[in-house]
């Protein structure tokens, strides 16, 4: 080829890639190198663990690489092909909230509700469930409800005492109707009391006084001193026949015993008795002026005691020395009376 003529006519050296095949040496293009692809790399692993993905391989323009204005390689440096893995889990998502429900009350304060579901989409294949609440609530307020009202009074209760001024009560409730949230509560007291049976109680009396010792007799296996005359008796708790006081009104009692030794022409050593509460010794009463057997004159002694008795307890004189009609004067006496009844 006449490279000089071609260059003059067509400026062949300006078209490098035509000149390299026609006038390489003339155009000083002997060092020009066009690029060429190297071999493809191996395919990569699938780029997903589930669902549809792709394999990838690459090549480089290095066999040889372009130099001194040589052409680059034509085509793609990257190649792909599809890969398929098992289907992926589907994570749940919330649906839109429903409309608010109606207020469930006609007056006062209520609660409205709305709902949503984990259905947009539903969780599948071990996908995560939605986080949060499926229900939402808010307060709704209606007009003020009616005010509360009292029920009728109950009947009066039984009086706490039968005399002396007891107490009785009656009650009502604020439930006709019950108070609403914004309604007014009942005005007044739910309970009333009043005094009842205010008449004076009769006094609690138990008292006796006896004299004229009668005999010394055995009752229920116990020797007891009996008397023949009541000086005073109130309550009916002392028996002349048995010489025994039997308590019918529990409380604190005062008992008094007076022994009078009879004047006699013969010698009388002493006169004595013991007072018992049931079978327990309470006091010892003894008349012995000279403390020997020579005394013939009259002598007396009085002993008293305050004790508590329960209902049914008995008090009597026993262990009396010498027959009473022979050695005791008739004014020998036994007295007892209630001081303080149990409340």
Rounded CA gap, 124 and 128, in Å?
Answer: 8
Residue 6 has pLDDT above 90, yes or no: no
Residue 67 has pLDDT above 70, yes or no: yes
| Across 274-297, average pLDDT | 82
- Measuring CA to CA, how many Å separate 318 from each of 13, 163, 236, 284? 167, 40, 21, 10
- Measuring CA to CA, how many Å separate 256 from each of 235, 282, 312? 18, 12, 20
> Residue 244: which pLDDT band, with cuts at 50, 70 and 90?
very high
> Pick from 295, 291, 287: which is nearest to 324 by CA?
287
Going by the DSSP 8-state scheme, the letter that residue 200 receives in this structure is: P
Domains in the chain, start-ordered, CATH in brackets?
1-38+63-71 (no CATH), 88-147+173-181 (2.20.100.10), 207-341 (2.60.120.40)
Per-residue pLDDT at 294: 64
> Residue written as tokens 């009785």?
168
Residue 217 has pLDDT above 90, yes or no: no
Whether the ω angle into residue 115 lies within 30 degrees of 0, i.e. cis, is no
Residue 213 has pLDDT above 70, yes or no: yes
Q: Cβ(140)–Cβ(109) under 8 Å? A: yes
| Across 187-191, average pLDDT | 93
Write the pLDDT tens digit of every residue in 99-157: 999 998 877 788 999 999 999 999 988 889 999 999 999 998 877 777 888 999 999 99
């Amino acid at each position: 080829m006449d490279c000089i003529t071609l260059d003059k006519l067509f400026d062949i050296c300006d078209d490098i890639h035509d000149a390299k095949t026609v006038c390489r040496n003339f155009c000083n293009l002997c060092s020009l190198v066009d690029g060429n692809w190297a071999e493809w790399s191996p395919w990569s692993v699938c780029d997903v663990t589930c669902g549809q993905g792709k394999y990838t391989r690459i090549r480089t323009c290095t066999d040889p690489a372009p130099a001194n204005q040589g052409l680059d390689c034509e085509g793609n440096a990257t190649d792909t092909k599809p890969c398929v893995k098992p289907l992926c889990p589907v994570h749940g998502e919330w649906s839109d909230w429903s409309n608010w429900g109606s207020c469930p009350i006609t007056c006062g304060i209520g609660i409205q509700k709305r709902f949503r579901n984990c259905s947009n989409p539903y969780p599948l294949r071990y996908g995560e469930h939605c986080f949060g609440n499926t229900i939402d609530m808010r307060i709704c307020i209606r007009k003020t409800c009616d005010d509360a009202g009292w029920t009728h009074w109950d009947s009066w209760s039984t009086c706490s005492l039968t005399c002396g001024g007891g107490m009785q009560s009656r009650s009502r409730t604020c439930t006709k109707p019950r108070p609403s949230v914004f309604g007014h509560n009942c005005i007044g007291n739910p309970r009333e009391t009043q005094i009842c049976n205010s008449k004076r109680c009769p006094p609690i009396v138990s008292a006796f006084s006896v004299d004229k010792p009668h005999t010394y007799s055995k009752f229920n296996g116990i020797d007891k001193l009996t008397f023949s005359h009541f000086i005073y008796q109130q309550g009916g708790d002392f028996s002349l026949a048995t010489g025994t006081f039997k308590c019918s009104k529990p409380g604190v009692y005062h008992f008094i015993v007076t022994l009078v030794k009879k004047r006699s022409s013969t010698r009388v050593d002493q006169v004595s008795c013991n007072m018992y509460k049931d079978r327990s010794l309470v006091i010892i009463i003894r008349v012995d002026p000279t403390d020997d057997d020579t005394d013939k004159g009259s002598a007396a002694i009085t002993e008293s005691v305050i004790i508590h008795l329960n209902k049914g307890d008995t008090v009597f004189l026993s262990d009396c020395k010498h027959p009473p009609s022979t050695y005791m004067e008739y004014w020998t006496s036994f007295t007892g009376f209630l001081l303080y009844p149990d409340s």
